[in-house]
Structure 1
Amino acid sequence: MEKSQLSLQNWSPENYIKAYKFAANAHQGQKIPGSEIPYIMHLSFVSMEVIAALSKEKEHNGDLAIQCAILHDTIEDTDITFEEIKAEFSQVVADGILALTKDESLAKHLQMADSLRRIKEQPQEIWMVKLADRISNLQAPPYYWTIDKIIRYREEGIQIYEALKDASHFLASRLASKIADYQAFI
């Protein structure tokens, strides 16, 4: 890539690779629920959504958004701690990942509102990650989900859209489209 093209990017490929390797090691052996697909694919899809938004919305801190997209499930789904993320990346990345992590001590029906409240206290790049995460997750639901679970998941998508849509017009539009399409599974 020419130097002039690289300067137009608002993120570093080196930081992407560092976060991707870290996440691949952390999530090693995990599968996407209901499949045999390695979990790292989900992280790839979420980061791809963020990169697509960053290509259109250059005002965002791309390194923060991409690193958090790749690492967003490390505290929640692996043995990686907040302190390890902070030491390896930064305080702001660790704070973003922690905000994106569900508080398992709360009743399930309270977790999303709590998560969205904490995400809204973070820079908008963290909001973008949550939008991208739900875009990625609004694929065909796993075969074992009940209609009630599918309806609740779609309603959570609407809740995420309403709370975080101001962070990225591109991602908000993508999520709105995915929510509309998800109606077909109900």
Structure 2
Amino acid sequence: MDSEAVKKYTKCLNFAAIKHSTQRRKDKEKTPYINHPIGVANILANEGDVIDLNVLMAAILHDTVEDTDCSFEEIEEHFGKDIKSIVQEVTDDKNLPKMERKKLQIEHAKTASPNAKLVKLADKLYNLRDLQRAIPEGWTKERASEYFIWAKKVIDNCRGTNKKLEDKLDDIFRSQNIME
């Protein structure tokens, strides 16, 4: 990786850290939220062997528009059209009701670009591992179980993208007895 790529990647990490600085995960420990997007990028690089810098940076930025005051225009201004495009594909419209957003994630996964599917696979893998570790505060076991079932529907529409990540997800689905 050349020095400009390192600078751009580090700028992306810093940008996401600033945007997510006041957020916490819903686990008992109140983990800093930034651990999630960095963890998603880590899964892509170290478990999925994804080295495309645009994909890794989109993973780091994947929740910034959805969960902070960040705009797609801001992402494009700082990181370019390609990264903005991937982030846009994986961002839910928070103006829609939750159940509609969940339904759209399943549908959009079918037609998403391969790069967006990579981010989606790693994001779901991170979240499912988190759910296996501990149910978030305010969640019931039933809600967690429903999340696993819904996540499998999303993942089934991303298949053929990265076998290593898909195999790890299938291991989780098998452990939850939701393989079809």
TM-score normalised per structure 1: 0.81
Identity %: 26
Amino acid in the other structure paired with 1:163: N
Amino acid in the other structure paired with 1:125: N
Residue 15 of structure 1 deviates from its aligned partner by 3.2
Larger CA deviation: 112-121 vs 166-175: 112-121
The answer to whether 1:14 aligns with 2:7 is: yes
Residue in structure 1 matching 2:127, options 109, 115, 137: 137
Taking only aligned residues, the RMSD between alpha carbons, in angstroms, comes to 2.3
Q: Deviations over 1:113-149 (max 9, x none)?
A: 3234445544312111111011111123214311221
Equivalence map 1:56-95=2 (5 Å): 62-95=52-85
- Check 1:23–1:120 CA distance in 2 against 1; reply closer, same or farther (3 A cut): farther
Is the CA contact (8 Å cut-off) linking 1:99 and 1:115 kept in structure 2? no
Q: Deviations over 1:53-92 (max 9, x none)?
A: 453x66xxx1121011100000001001010001111112
Residue in structure 1 matching 2:159, options 154, 157, 165: 165
Amino acid in the other structure paired with 1:178: I
Amino acid in the other structure paired with 1:25: I
Residue in structure 2 matching 1:24, options 13, 17, 22: 17
TM-score normalised per structure 2: 0.84
Residue 167 of structure 1 deviates from its aligned partner by 1.2
The answer to whether 1:99 aligns with 2:60 is: no
Write the distance in 1 (CA, Å) between the matches of 2:12 and 2:109. Answer: 20
- Check 1:13–1:177 CA distance in 2 against 1; reply closer, same or farther (3 A cut): farther
Amino acid in the other structure paired with 1:86: E
Number of aligned residue pairs? 171
Larger CA deviation: 167-176 vs 140-149: 140-149
- Check 1:82–1:110 CA distance in 2 against 1; reply closer, same or farther (3 A cut): same
Is the CA contact (8 Å cut-off) linking 2:109 and 2:154 kept in structure 1? no
Q: Deviations over 1:90-124 (max 9, x none)?
A: 11211211221112233322212323444554431
Number of the residue aligned with 1:123: 113
The answer to whether 1:154 aligns with 2:148 is: yes
SS at match of 1:44: helix
Unpaired segments ≥5 residues, structure 1: 1-5
Unpaired segments ≥5 residues, structure 2: none
